[in-house]
Chain A
Amino acid sequence: MPKRNYVLVCGGTGCESSKADQIFRNLKIACTEQGITDEVQVVKTGCFGFCEQGPIVKVLPDETFYVKVTPEDAEEIITEHLVKGRKVSRLEYDTKGSTKNAKVDDIQFYQKQFRIVLRNCGVIDPENIDEYIARDGYAAVEKVLFEMSPDDVIQELKKAQLRGRGGAGFPTWLKWSFTKDVEESEKYVVCNADEGDPGAYMDRSTLEGDPHSILEAMTIAGRTCGASRGYIYIRAEYPLAIKRLKIAMQQAREYGLLGDNILGSDFSFDIEIRLGAGAFVCGEETALLASIEGERGMPRPRPPFPAVKGVWNKPTVINNVETWANIPVIILKGGDWFSKIGTEDSKGTKVFALTGKISNSGLVEVPMGTTLREIIYDIGGGIANGKKFKAVQTGGPSGGVITADYLDTPIDYGTLTSLGSMMGSGGMIIMDEDDCIVDVTKFYLGFSVEESCGKCSPCRIGGRSLYNILDRITKGEGEMADIGKMKDIGLAMKKASLCGLGQTAPNPILSTLNYFEDEYLAHIKDKRCPAGTCKELISFHILADKCIGCTACARKCPTGAITGERRQVHRIDPDLCIKCGVCLETCKFDAVFVR
Chain B
Amino acid sequence: MNSTVTLTIDNQTVTVEKGKTILDAAMQIGIDIPHLCKDDRLTPTGACRLCLVEVEGRPKLQTSCSTPAEPGMVVHSETPEIRKLRKTVLELTIAEHRLSCTTCDKDGDCLLQDYAYRYHINEHKYPSLEHKVTTMNYTAREKAFVYDPSKCIRCGRCVKICAEVQGIHAITFMKRSYEVMVTTGFNEPLKTTVCETCGQCVGTCPTGALYPKAAKQKGRAKDLEKIRTTCVYCGVGCQLDLNISRKTGELVMVSTEPGSIPNDGNTCVKGRFGYDFVHSPKRLTKPLIKEQGKFREAEWDEALDLVARRFTELRSEFGPHALAGFTSARATNEENYVIQKFVRSAMGTNNIDHCARLCHASTVTGLARAFGSGAMTNSIKEIKQAEVIFVIGSNTTENHPVIGITIRQAADSGSSTVIVADPRKISLTSNAAIHLQHRPGTDTALINAMIHVILEEGLEDRGFIEERTEGFDEMAETLASHTPEFAEKICGVPAEDIRRAARIFAGAETASIIYSMGITQHTTGTDNVLALANLALLTGNVGKMNAGVNPLRGQNNVQGACDMGGLPDVYSGYQKVADPSAREKFSRAWGVELPEEPGLTVVEIMNQASEGTMKGLLIVGENPMLSDPDITHVEQGLRNLDFLVVQDLFLTETAELADVVLPAASFAEKEGTFTNTERRVQRVRKAVTAPGEARLDWEIICDLSRRMGYDMHYASAEEIMEEIAFLTPIYGGIFYDRLEKVGLQWPCRDRNHPGTPYLHKDRFSRPNGKGKFHPVTYIQPREMPDEEYPLILTTGRMLQHWHTGTMTRKSIVLDDLVPHGALELHPEDAEARGIVRGDTVAVSSRRGMIHVPVNITEKVRKGTVFMAFHFHEHPANALTIAALDPIAKIPEFKACAVKVESFAEKE
Contact = CB atoms under 8 A, between A and B. Distances in A.
A490 to B, nearest CB: 10
Contacts of A495: 52, 60-61, 81, 85
B66 A303 contact: yes
Interface string A88-105: 000000000000000000
A303 to B, nearest CB: 7
Interface in A479-505: 485, 488-489, 491-492, 495-498
* Chain A interface size range: 20 to 34
Nearest to A490: B88
Contacts of A497: 49
A451 B176 contact: yes
Contacts of A498: 46-47, 49, 63
A454 B181 CA distance: 9
B153 A457 contact: yes
Contact of A458 (B49, B67, B125, B175): B49
Contacts of A454: 154, 173, 175-180
A489 B81 CA distance: 13
A496 B173 contact: no
Interface string A72-100: 00000000000000000000000000000
Interface in B82-132: 85, 88-89, 92-93, 95-96, 125-127, 129
B52 A460 contact: no
B717 interface: no
A108 interface: no
A450 B175 CA distance: 10
A342 to B, nearest CB: 23
Contacts of B68: 303
B745 to A, nearest CB: 34
A496 B89 contact: yes
Interface in B42-96: 44-49, 52, 60-61, 63, 65-68, 81, 85, 88-89, 92-93, 95-96
B172 interface: yes
Contacts of B271: none
Q: Which of B52, B63, B89, B127 has the most CB of A within 10 A?
A: B89
Interface string A276-289: 00010100000000
B156 interface: yes
A488 to B, nearest CB: 5
Contacts of A468: 127, 129
Contacts of A45: none
A462 interface: yes
B111 to A, nearest CB: 13
A364 B284 CA distance: 86
A456 B48 contact: yes
Contacts, number: 112
A452 interface: yes
Q: Which of A451, A463, A498 has the most CB of B within 10 A?
A: A498
A462 B92 CA distance: 6
Given A454-B154, A457-B49, A279 B66 contact: no
A449 interface: yes
Contacts of A453: 176-177, 180
Given A461-B95, A463-B177, A456 B46 contact: yes
Interface string A435-463: 00000000000000111111111101111
Contacts of A279: 176
Given A450-B176, A463-B177, A465-B126, A458 B92 contact: yes
Contacts of B63: 301, 498
A465 B125 CA distance: 11
Given A451-B177, A460-B154, A461-B129, A301 B61 contact: no
A464 interface: yes
B46 A300 contact: yes
Contact of A457 (B44, B60, B154, B172): B154
A168 to B, nearest CB: 12
Contact of B92 (A298, A451, A489): A489
A296 interface: yes
A303 B70 CA distance: 12
Q: Which of A461, A488, A497 has the most CB of B within 10 A?
A: A461
Contacts of B93: 457, 461
Contacts of A489: 88, 92, 126
Contacts of B96: 457, 460-461
A485 B126 CA distance: 8
B622 to A, nearest CB: 48
Contacts of B179: 454
A456 B180 contact: no
A496 B178 contact: no
A497 B52 CA distance: 10
Given A301-B45, A454-B154, A465-B126, A492 B178 contact: no
Given A454-B175, A457-B89, A458-B92, A303 B154 contact: no
Contact of B89 (A455, A485, A492): A492
A303 B179 CA distance: 28
Contacts of B60: 495
Contacts of B92: 457-458, 461-462, 465, 489, 492
Given A301-B63, A495-B85, A449 B177 contact: yes
Contacts of A491: 85, 88
Interface in A495-535: 495-498
Interface in B126-176: 126-127, 129, 153-154, 156, 172-173, 175-176
B382 to A, nearest CB: 24
Contacts of A460: 96, 154, 177-178, 180
A465 B127 contact: yes
Contacts of B172: 296
B163 to A, nearest CB: 9
Interface string B803-826: 000000000000000000000000
Contacts of B173: 296, 298, 454
A551 B65 CA distance: 69
A492 B85 contact: yes
Nearest to A450: B177
Nearest to B155: A457
Contacts of B46: 300-301, 456, 498
Contacts of A488: 88
Given A449-B177, A460-B178, A465 B129 contact: yes
B149 to A, nearest CB: 12
Q: Which of A460, A462, A468, A489 has the most CB of B within 10 A?
A: A460
A454 B401 CA distance: 33
A572 to B, nearest CB: 34
A374 to B, nearest CB: 31
Contact of A455 (B47, B85, B95, B129): B47
B95 A465 contact: yes
Given A456-B47, A485-B126, A496-B49, A464 B85 contact: no
Contacts of B129: 461, 464-465, 468
B87 to A, nearest CB: 9
Contacts of B176: 279, 281, 450-454
A498 B50 CA distance: 11
Contacts of B67: 301, 303
A491 B173 CA distance: 27
Interface in B344-388: none
A457 B126 contact: no
A58 to B, nearest CB: 43
19 contacts: A301-B44, A303-B68, A452-B177, A452-B178, A454-B177, A455-B45, A457-B48, A457-B89, A458-B49, A458-B92, A460-B177, A460-B180, A461-B95, A463-B177, A464-B178, A485-B126, A495-B61, A495-B81, A498-B49
Given A300-B46, A457-B89, A461-B93, 15 more contacts: A296-B173, A454-B178, A454-B180, A457-B48, A458-B49, A461-B178, A462-B88, A462-B92, A464-B178, A468-B127, A485-B126, A488-B88, A495-B81, A496-B88, A498-B46
* List of 7 A-B pairs having minimum Cβ-Cβ separation, nearest first: A454-B180, A301-B46, A301-B66, A492-B88, A461-B92, A452-B177, A464-B178
